[in-house]
Structure 1
Amino acid sequence: MDRSYVEDQVFEKQDFRQKPLPKAEYDNCHFVHCQFDNTDMSEIHFADCRFDHCNLSNAKLLQTAFKNIKFKDCKLVGLLFDTCSEFLFEVDFEHCTLNFSSFSNRKMKKTSWRNCTLQEVDFTGTDLTAAIFLQTTLSGARFENTVLEKTDFRTATLFSINPEINKMKKARFSAGGALLLLDKYELEIEG
């Protein structure tokens, strides 16, 4: 099947719930104030694209390719990034809501989440080596068999991580954040 190729386009205020985004390769495109929620984005390839102020909540992402993609001020609730294509998967998030999403078993070295909300997000088996959670809320996020080596949690909040079931060598925490690593022991620490 020949796939169409779209390059250097700006899509602004498009409602792809009404007319779906065609399956194609989108290179260096910019999506602004677009609605993708509850759509099927399967097998669409994005490379070097930006999504600003878009809603992709509950979109289907089966074999969707995200290669060097920036999401800013987006609503990304309930997305299963673990069903995306693994080839060159690279994403970056700023001021996004990603509640109830899954990154299970993804390789996400050096990924950055800045000022994001990641409530009940699944990072089981994910490689987050040198990732950064800057001013990010991780309430109920699941870290299990996760590689967190050199990961920066210094300004992250509300996380609960069991050091016994995750690889955490040289992970970075604030003094208060380091106490959250003791949650599972139900200790009473006074200070």
Structure 2
Amino acid sequence: MAQRIKIEKPKVSENLPPFNFHDIFDQEEPYLHQCLISNCTIDRVTIDKLDLTQVVFQSVNFSDVSFRNIELTDVVFDHCDLSNCDLMGASVHRVEFIDSKLLGVNLTEAHIGNVLYKNCNLNLSSFGYGNFKQVRFEESSLKNADFYECRFNKIKFEQCNLDEVNFSRTPLKGTDISTSTFQSLIVALEDLPGCVVSPQQAIGFATLLGLKIKE
């Protein structure tokens, strides 16, 4: 039986005060705490080591944004567009991405723990060399996403599109893909042991071993 991946929810308060993101440039340090940012566009912004704690983004469009080494703790992205954002080296803890678009987002070398991606577009996203612990992808599309040489611990892809996802040099022991769909994956046979798959998926992987399935 597949294990249930428990994800700690973001610890955010209700009735957060609104904040204009561009006011952050009036502060000595790029730090935001306990605020709501909604219905706006954040574009052409580059900030290194931005620190966000207990922040909710609602219907925010990020365009031409680079937040390398960003620290996200207890943050919610609800109906946001983070396509092509550069978040390389991010630290992401107790964060939810809900009904959001992350097409081509750069999260290489990120540390991602207790994170939920639900009903998101993650096609062409880059997670290479990342460290994942207690992460769940639900009803999301990850076509051509890159998980090259990642470390997985308690990861589940639930009813996701994983077509052409790259899992090269990423051991999948304990990773649950049994309810997800794909035509093909980029994965080495030595990284498959312990991966949780459906009977139909198991037959597909058996063909990679050169086995002939007798009907």
User: TM-score, normalising length from structure 1?
Assistant: 0.84
User: After alignment, is 144-153 or 2-11 more displaced?
Assistant: 2-11
Contact 2:121 2:140 in 1 (8 A): yes
Q: Does 1:31 align with 2:57?
A: yes
- Opposite residue 165 of structure 1, the aligned amino acid is E
One of 154, 159, 166 as aligned partner of 1:130: 154
- Opposite residue 148 of structure 1, the aligned amino acid is L
Q: Does 1:53 align with 2:79?
A: yes
Contact 1:61 1:83 in 2 (8 A): no
TM-superposed deviation, 1:186: 7.0
Contact 1:146 1:167 in 2 (8 A): no
Secondary structure at 1:8 match in 2: strand
Q: Which residue of 1 aligns with 2:167?
A: 143
Q: Which residue of 2 aligns with 1:114?
A: 138
User: After alignment, is 43-52 or 114-123 more displaced?
Assistant: 43-52
Secondary structure at 1:180 match in 2: helix
Secondary structure at 2:206 match in 1: helix
User: After alignment, is 93-102 or 121-130 more displaced?
Assistant: 121-130
Q: Count the aligned residue pairs.
A: 186
TM-superposed deviation, 1:129: 2.9
| Residue 143 to residue 63, structure 1, CA distance change in 2 (3 Å) | closer
Question: Share of identical aligned residues, percent?
Answer: 24
Give the unaligned 5+ runs of structure 2.
Answer: 1-27
TM-superposed deviation, 1:47: 1.0
- Opposite residue 193 of structure 2, the aligned amino acid is M
Provide the C-alpha distance between the structure 1 equivalents of 2:131 and 2:124, rounded to a whole number of angstroms. Answer: 19
- Opposite residue 148 of structure 2, the aligned amino acid is T
Contact 2:166 2:187 in 1 (8 A): no
Q: Which residue of 1 aligns with 2:41?
A: 15
Say which structure is richer in strand: 2
Superposed CA deviations along residues 22-64 of structure 1, whole A, max 9, x for unmatched, are 6642111100110013322234332110101111011122343
- Opposite residue 35 of structure 2, the aligned amino acid is Q
One of 40, 54, 78 as aligned partner of 2:66: 40
User: TM-score, normalising length from structure 2?
Assistant: 0.76
One of 142, 148, 166 as aligned partner of 2:191: 166
After TM superposition, the runs of 4+ consecutive aligned structure 1 residues lying more than 6 A away are none
Provide the C-alpha distance between the structure 2 equivalents of 1:4 and 1:119, rounded to a whole number of angstroms. Answer: 33
Matches within 5 A, 1:75-114: 75-84=101-110, 86=111, 89-90=112-113, 91-114=115-138
Contact 1:160 1:181 in 2 (8 A): no
Contact 2:34 2:54 in 1 (8 A): yes
Q: Which residue of 1 aligns with 2:11?
A: none
Cα RMSD (Å) = 2.5
Contact 1:8 1:27 in 2 (8 A): yes
Secondary structure at 1:14 match in 2: strand
Provide the C-alpha distance between the structure 2 equivalents of 1:97 and 1:40, rounded to a whole number of angstroms. Answer: 19
Contact 2:164 2:186 in 1 (8 A): no
